[in-house]
Amino acid sequence: MKAAIIGAGPAGLTCALKLIESGFNVDVYESSAAAGGMTKSFDLWGQRVDVGPHRFFSMDEKINSFWREQVGEDYVMVDRLTRIYYNKKFFLYPVKAMNALKNLGFIEAMSCVLSYIKACFAKKGSEKTFEEWVSHKFGYKLYSVFFKTYSERLWGISCKNLDADFARQRIKGLDLFEVIKSAIFPQKSVKHKTLVEQFAYPKMGAGVPYDNIVKKIASKGGGNKI
């Protein structure tokens, strides 16, 4: 049987490799000059550069194992440092209780918690937009503090016009109780993928596993129409 894969991003390349290993004759079509999609790495000014910041982490050991097969031993575990800049202060993420309380102040911190509690018991209306989905899940106060400005700057679209799927895809499964629990009991909490403090990173860039998959596809007789 023959299959055509459109797009040489992580999903397309993984699908192509698995189909070839199952006996399919596969062609991969990609319009850009390199594979990897938004996770590709390329040479620029004498150094290796990623398209964007990509951290690999999964709770599924099957996915972890597949990723390690493509990278081999050429990766390191990196301590994650993510901070949110709000009101001229840096907030650590994953959340650290004392850091958040100090930066927000007791009154605003309690306002966020009360807004969250209110959202938990409020009747849910439409959840078609990013603003509706996040404010219903976290409370309007927390949405306006941490989600609204960042998302609008990133996407260039008002959260009232941004589809709720953008929120569902990125923060599904995360709730404020989990964040607070992780902040107070960091060693006892089960980590959601947005709360992990370490991630695996290939030494030669985030695009390494996808470059290697392209080579495997070619070695197994697959066609690359890049």
Q: Domain ranges in the chain?
A: 2-80+199-225, 82-195
Report pLDDT digits (tens) over 9-39.
999 999 999 999 999 999 999 988 888 888 8
185, pLDDT greater than 90: no
Pairing of strands 82-86, 47-50: unpaired
Q: Per CATH, is 2-80+199-225 categorized as 3.80.10.10?
A: no
| Position 115, amino acid | S
DSSP 3-state assignment of 151? helix
Report pLDDT digits (tens) over 116-147.
888 888 877 778 898 998 888 888 988 887 78
Which pTM value belongs to this model?
0.60
